[in-house]
Structure 1
Amino acid sequence: MEGRRRELESERRRRLGKNKEKMAQYAPSRRMLALPPPPPPPAANQLKLAAVAVDLNVRLRSADMSVTLQERVFRHARALLDSNSDHKNSKRLNPSQLALCLKKEFDLLYGPAWHCIVGKSFGSFVTHSSGGFVYFSIDKMCFLLFKTEVRPLAVNKSPPLLLKFKTS
């Protein structure tokens, strides 16, 4: 009886060893199982911006802009929407007026060459200055605000050549 027990135990160990070898062929190495490092915690100003966005019902779609400017545009756009909805005789929001107000505000505060597109459905593909782009929505209205570079015109000392056409 004791001999039989030893044989069974020996057989079980042998099978376990073979199974471990087979599993090792298919199992990834331990290096592959390592988890990626956790992302760094967001900066305090990013958390503040997220809180402002939630408070104002803003959904940020894309941005290449400082947190301060983003907060300003969120607050200004929300104020414009709220003031427009206060007027009882205006049934619809006028996206062109909203865009004009945002553009003028940013031109006044941060220099010329700001452009603004506001609407419920539009496509865009724009080139913008570094640090001067934000795309977001409030309620069902989408806002695209971006800045372009303003270059002075090159002044030619000689007037451009005019071609003479033969009239015959």
Structure 2
Amino acid sequence: MTSITLAQGDITRQTADAIVNAANSSLLGGGGVDGAIHRRGGPAILEECRALRSSRYGKGLPTGQAVATTAGELDAQWVIHTVGPVWSSSEDRSELLASCYRESLRVADELGARTVAFPAISTGVYRWPMDDAARIAIGTVRDTSTGVEEARFVLFDDRAYEVFAARLD
């Protein structure tokens, strides 16, 4: 059974087998977690992302899917990039958000990763409400069969940490 833990702080400072990146579909970096991972991880991540774009993902990585690259200078072996959905008040995209976590765990299993650090996917510029995001994230990880021993949610601020902690109890 996967142990679910919480940490507060900068995901790029975590030590884990794999760090999950809340990527944009271009895989070429962006703002928020995506930009931070690319900046701290260095050019090796972008180089592998460019190779993925020129081969399997010419149109970008689809929302809800996941793919791995090197972790570059991060204290991890791999970065698992996943594209979260933009929150919508008129369309239920919960399954796409859940898919980000399931697909990231599937990729982690393929790699043999035992520890995975997740951000709160889609809660930044994609505006997913934190409480609903925490419900989906924790529920999906709990319900997914995986060889991952520890799934760590790394929350950037006090509010996010408190929301995830309340959902974990």
Fold match by TM threshold 0.5? no
Between structures 1 and 2, the one with greater helix share: 1
By relative contact order (CA 8 Å, sep 6+), the higher-ranking structure is: 2
* Structure with larger Rg: 1
Superposition TM-score, scaled by structure 1 size: 0.26
